[in-house]
Amino acid sequence: MTRQYFGRKRILVTGGAGFLGSHLIDRLLDRGDEVLCVDNLFTGDKSNIDHLSGHPRFEFMRHDICFPLYVEVDQIFNLACPASPVHYQHDPVQTTKTSVHGAINMLGLAKRLNCRIFQASTSEVYGDPSVHPQPEEYWGNVNPIGIRSCYDEGKRCAETLFFDYHRQHDLEIKVVRIFNTYGPRMHPADGRVVSNFIMQALAGEDITMYGDGSQSRSFCFYSDLIDGFLKLMDSPPEVTGPINIGNPVEFTIRELAELVLELTGAKSKLLFKPLPQDDPTQRKPDITKARELLGWEPKVQLREGLLETIAYFRRFFD
């Protein structure tokens, strides 16, 4: 069955009012697709999609994917789930439900429609890795009963469901593992390191550093990530993933803080606090598969991306 007219696709984006979902929708509309945005607005924000009000190829539906959804679409991007520790630990049972029940419902919809479905998984499936950098073949080091496990294990179970639907029902799936991503439209209170540091610096507050700041992360600008999403979704059926999409250039958290201070011109001091439970000490993607299978690698340098992100966050202080 096809619902395409004149080559245009109707695409469902769950979590479409969120940081990444809203940017993905912009790109889909720019290339001529129709988009159905579904979000329960638990962490998503309608301000991220207000600019699309009245767009002839955009539709918004407030809905929780923990409950079945009956729509007609050609492709599904499943991005729905709180993604920052502050948000996913606020209601951990609901976080697990969104990852697992949500995946079941979206996979069921894709099976009924016989359409391709994309899953936004996460580098959190690797836990606190003992292998560095992390290739897709690494199974991870995850605490199944820790305070982060609602998200880590929820996303791991979602991957299991996607691959079982692929094997059992021959469903076309695309699974991406997202590494730390930042940029405009991040929630200012999401608790992630980039938004935390920028908001604290702009407010003239001390920069909160957990641990000694030597733990490392790799930061990918949102536009590079969305490029990877689209390349994976449009790749041949045999390219199922999981595929790491992230920036392999590694920075310590202290280096990030110092760069934010430089770019904001803030005089904030560094305030050191204990490292949270199960917080990974290293996180860096091996993007060999993304390079070889998708021809993808990030282009935006951290300094360039931070300048754009800082400009976005300044509006909260105007």
Q: Catalytic amino acids?
A: 151
Q: Residue holding tokens 């696709």?
A: 9
Asked if residue 243 lies in contact with residue 136, where contact means CB atoms within 8 angstroms, the answer is yes
**Cα atoms in the 13 Å half-sphere on the side-chain side of 232:** 30
| Distance in angstroms (rounded) separating the CA atoms of residues 216 and 297 | 20
Quote the tokens at residue 242. 């999981």
Q: How far apart are CA 75 and CA 147, in angstroms?
A: 33
- Dist. CA 114–CA 1, nearest whole Å: 8
Q: How far apart are CA 231 and CA 298, in angstroms?
A: 13
Rounded to 5°, angle at Cα 6 from 50 and 105:
55
What length does the chain have? 318
Q: CA 181: distance to chain centroid?
A: 7
